[in-house]
Amino acid sequence: MKKSLLMLCFFLIGITNAQNIQSPSKNIRVDFNLNADGTPQYAVSYKNKLVVLESKLGIKLKEGGDLVSGLTIDNVKNTSFNESWKPVLGEQSSIQNHYNELTVSLSQKATQRKINIIFRVFDEGVAFRYDFPKQPKLNYFIITDEITQFNLAGNHKTFWIPGDFDSQEYVFNETRLSEIDNDKLNLNNGIALKTIGGKTVVQSPLMMKSDDKIYLNIFEAAVVNYPVMHLNVNTKNFELTSFLVSNAIGDKAYLQAPCVSPWRTIMVSDDARDIVSSKMILNLNEPSKLDDTSWIKPMKYVGIWWEMHVGESTWDYAGSQNASNVLDQSLKPTGKHGATTENTKRYIDFAAKNGFDGVLVEGWNTGWEDWAGNWKEEVFDFVTPYPDFDIKAISEYAKSKNVKMIMHHETSGSVANYERHMDRAFENMVKYGYPAVKSGYVGRIIPRGEFHDGQTMVNHFNYAARRAADYKLMLNSHESSRPTGYSRTYPNYIAAEAARGNEFNAWSTGNPPDHETILPFTRLLGGPMDYTPGIFEIKMNHYDPKKTEQVHTTLAKQLALYVTMYSPLQMAADLPENYEKYPDAFQFIKDVAVDWDESKYLEAEPGDYLTVVRKAKNSGKWFLGAITDENARNSEIKLDFLPKGKKYKAIIYEDAKNAHWQKNPIAYKIKTVEVTSKSAIKLTLAPGGGTAISFEPVK
């Protein structure tokens, strides 16, 4: 007894107010201290240059006083961690998780409360979280604010979208930090529901580049039982403060100790490729909770979906989507309903013929005739098909063709209704053999007053993934909060939308040519996105001469997106008849893998370009994707990623000479060359263009 007491005293005496920790590479260093008020502060330097100046940390509580000042250090602990793990699906078959950790245990004398701050420093960035240990004086508590600061060293260039509580489906703005201003945005952008938190509130991941060419990215990982963190930017001094999304009554998070906040992350590098290739966010999440993951499969799919976006058919059987206002109650089929038995069989045939794993069908169930925009609680029951959709016959037909059906559950934001029906909905999927569900959350949330990004909804999305896992179902959520790596923990959560997808090109101002060069530096850091690439009929006047909308890429770039936008769930989004018009280009979509052993980002600059090569899982094939923004681009790629001494047939799908996303988007050419690891390939990308390459081993 005496001995341990002595050791404890020695230990306490050894603690100073200033602590620091470095990355394994020693390029990144975090300095921690308590200021004169007993407020925790940290700073981050990269290669001996401060990139985050002294910044405050703390949590405000609804009851019993804030955990912001009056803190003293009880203990510090330094540890290191280095191991690799195998994701079920991923960009690489093995992921290294290597960091140094500093835990600072703090207590507040006045309240006898304790809080720990845990730092992890990886080679590509810093993470920290608040940890609330089990303790007598803090059991249940309500967080009213988090004052976490990121005090940036300069007026960096940023790629930002407004801090909206209900949507991330914005075009990125590329400005200096000082120029952030949501009031100046053109909000005629195709987003129906917008709830912007304030003039200078932006979303994370926030990608930045300093004048001295340091890339910085602020984000979060493992958002579990906590709201989404946006960032409030001081446009004068470039101090960013956490801005948590509130619930219906203005609270931020309801917690019970022991518990932790999500990780707040700061990636930093002088090479942009380190940011896009980082697995830090995944590493900061808990390992898989699922023992058996054999049923989790990557999927390439087609579906009854784009035809509704381009106006060729409708989700609803009766044609108005707001038939409630029609005084005549009867639903008269318009003949334009997409999800018919016949049309579904056509897609199943197409999928079977071309080797696709799955077929998604939207608009198969009742409710679409009066679903949107009215905060209606009971819209869908998730089990009743429209009279022209024979779910049993379709399910049997798909099975006979060895094609998997993907269920669609649009909730219209009425989560209360979805949770009430979820077990019945999932049982129905099991009954008809649907292994995957695409969920949708278009509209204001019910419980009313909640937001898509609040704690309630974060919990819902995670619950849906867990409950789906109970039924061995894969989940792809649309209009959800953006992922922060939970797919490591529940690998059946295979994809999400949660950013501005390809669909906006069909009926809005669309996605500018640089959009897909920014997503890998932002949205994709948290997990795969169901972007739905593969549009061949680029211009919507194909369907209606009056239409002026178009996809803002060349056709070749649409192919490249299958490689640049990592997802184990990839749609070939265009209509079968459009693919049949361009069978040579379509061949790439048929060939490309969606699950990988290895990925190498060869060239990357946010907002400008991205080139990546990936080795298909359990295969000798490699695929390359290269994209550019609105500017043409030439580069030469060394093929030294290929195994030495092996010959490959490289099938190159590239923009034709006169191609241009706007003026001539469909012009592509395909050539085949034989290459080895010693070869180089010249990439020639048109404005808004791209290149896709398959490398097949020559036997």
What is the Cα–Cα distance from 347 to 574, expressed in whole angstroms? Answer: 11
Can you tell me which of 456, 511, 578, 611 binds its own copies, judged by CB under 8 A? Answer: 456
Q: Does 134 bind its own copies (CB under 8 A)?
A: yes
The tokens of 585 are what?
């280009």
Which CB, 161 or 429, lies closer to its own copies?
429
Among 375, 400, 577, 673, binds its own copies (CB under 8 A): 375
Task: Assess contact for 290 and 469: CB atoms under 8 A.
Answer: yes
N-terminal to C-terminal alpha carbon distance within the chain: 72
In the complex, what is the shortest distance from the CB of residue 365 to its own copies, in angstroms, rounded to a whole number? 19
Q: How far is the CB of 115 from its own copies (least distance, A)?
A: 16
Scan residues 605-644 and list those touching its own copies (CB under 8 A): none
> Does residue 111 bind its own copies (CB under 8 A)?
no
Task: Name beta bridge partners: 117.
Answer: 104, 130
User: In whole angstroms, how far apart are CA 278 and each of 325, 417, 531?
Assistant: 51, 38, 20
How far is C-alpha 395 from the geometric centre of its chain's CA atoms? 30
Phi-psi region of 259 (alpha: psi -120 to 50; beta: other; left: phi over 0): beta
Regarding 249 and contact with its own copies (CB under 8 A), the answer is yes
- As measured in angstroms, the least distance from the Cβ of 490 to its own copies is 17
**328 Cβ contact list (under 8 Å, min separation 6):** none
Cβ closest to its own copies, residue 1 vs residue 249 = 249
Is 135 one of the binding residues for its own copies (CB under 8 A)?
yes
The smaller minimum CB distance to its own copies, of residues 415 and 524, is found at 415
Active-site hit among 479, 497, 503, 654: 503
Q: Does 447 bind its own copies (CB under 8 A)?
A: yes
Q: Is 423 in the site for its own copies (CB under 8 A)?
A: yes
Nearer to its own copies, 36 or 249 (CB): 249
**Rounded to whole angstroms, how far apart are CA atoms 461 and 458?**
5
Give the residue with the Cβ less far from its own copies, 454 or 520. Answer: 454
The phi, psi pair for 231, rounded to 5°, reads: -130, 130
- Output 297 or 376, the one with its CB closest to its own copies: 376
Binding segment for its own copies among 78-86, 154-162, 375-383, 641-649 (CB under 8 A)? Answer: 375-383
Q: Encoding tokens for residue 120?
A: 């992890």
**CA distances in angstroms from 254 to 138, 155, 540, listed in the order given:** 12, 35, 47
* Residue with smaller CB distance to its own copies, 13 or 249: 249
- 664 backbone dihedrals φ, ψ, rounded to 5°: -155, 65
Q: Which amino acid is at 609?
A: Y
Using an 8 Å Cβ cutoff, are 650 and 693 in contact?
yes
Residue 583, classed as helix, strand or coil, is helix
| Cα distance between residue 353 and residue 236, in whole Å | 59
668-675 vs 259-260, strand pairing mode: unpaired
Q: Are 598 and 93 in contact (CB under 8 A)?
A: yes
Alpha carbon distance 238, 255 (integer Å)? 31
Stretch that binds its own copies, among 114-122, 288-296, 370-378, 676-684 (CB under 8 A): 370-378
Q: Which of 248, 430, 673, 680 binds its own copies (CB under 8 A)?
A: 248
Residues 6+ apart with CB under 8 A from 679: 638, 639
Which of 139, 400, 619, 672 forms a contact with its own copies (CB under 8 A)? 139
Least Å distance, CB 114 to its own copies, is 12
Q: Catalytic: 674?
A: no
Among 450, 503, 516, 537, binds its own copies (CB under 8 A): 450
Question: Least separation, in Å, of the C-beta of 326 and its own copies?
Answer: 9
Q: How far is the CB of 248 from its own copies (least distance, A)?
A: 4
Q: How far is the CB of 140 from its own copies (least distance, A)?
A: 4
User: Cβ 456 to its own copies, closest distance in Å?
Assistant: 7
- Are the CB atoms for 222 and 484 separated by under 8 Å? yes
Q: Where are the beta strands (DSSP E) in 250-392?
A: 253-256, 259-260, 263-269, 299-304, 358-361
Would you count residue 449 as binding its own copies (CB under 8 A)? yes
Site string for its own copies, 270-309 (x = CB under 8 A): ----------------------------------------
- Could you tell me which stretch among 135-143, 178-186, 283-291, 681-689 binds its own copies (CB under 8 A)? 135-143
User: Interior CA angle at 29 toward 214 and 160, to 5°?
Assistant: 35
- Residue 65 identity (one-letter amino acid): G
Write out the two tokens for 115.
């809080």
Alpha carbons within 13 angstroms on the beta-carbon side of residue 609 total 19
Restricting to residues 480-499, which ones interact with its own copies according to CB under 8 A? Answer: none
Among 140, 236, 291, 294, binds its own copies (CB under 8 A): 140
Q: What are phi and psi of 345, to 5 degrees?
A: -65, -35
Q: Which of 51, 91, 522, 530 is nearest to 279 (CA)?
A: 91
Listed in order, strand segments (DSSP E) in 339-416 are 358-361, 404-410
Restricting to residues 251-270, which ones interact with its own copies according to CB under 8 A? 251, 254, 256
420 binds its own copies (CB under 8 A): yes
What's the closest the beta carbon of residue 250 comes to its own copies, in angstroms? 9
Query: Is residue 16 within the footprint of its own copies (CB under 8 A)?
Result: no
In the bound complex, what is the minimum distance in angstroms from residue 222's beta carbon to its own copies?
18
Strands (E), 656-699: 668-675, 680-685, 690-697
Find, among 40, 68, 67, the residue nearest to 54 by Cα.
40
Residue 10 or residue 140: which is nearer to its own copies going by CB? 140
Min CB(261)–its own copies separation in Å: 17
With CB under 8 A as the contact rule, which of the stretches 42-50, 422-430, 548-556, 558-566 interacts with its own copies?
422-430
Residue from 422, 592, 681, 686 that binds its own copies (CB under 8 A)? 422
Interface map 306-345 toward its own copies (x if CB under 8 A): ------------------xx-x-x----------------
Q: How far apart are CA 473 and CA 439, in angstroms?
A: 12
Q: How far is the CB of 102 from its own copies (least distance, A)?
A: 25
Tell whether residue 463 is a contact of its own copies (CB under 8 A): yes
Q: Among the candidate windows 6-14, 43-51, 271-279, 419-427, which touches its own copies by CB under 8 A? A: 419-427
Residue closer to its own copies, measured from CB, 123 or 419: 419
| Full strand arrangement of the beta sheet holding 493-496 | 493-496, 474-477, 436-440, 404-410, 358-361, 299-304, 569-571
Residues that bind its own copies (CB under 8 A): 134-136, 139-140, 247-249, 251, 254, 256, 324-325, 327, 329, 374-377, 416, 419-420, 422-424, 447-450, 456, 459, 463
List active site positions: 503
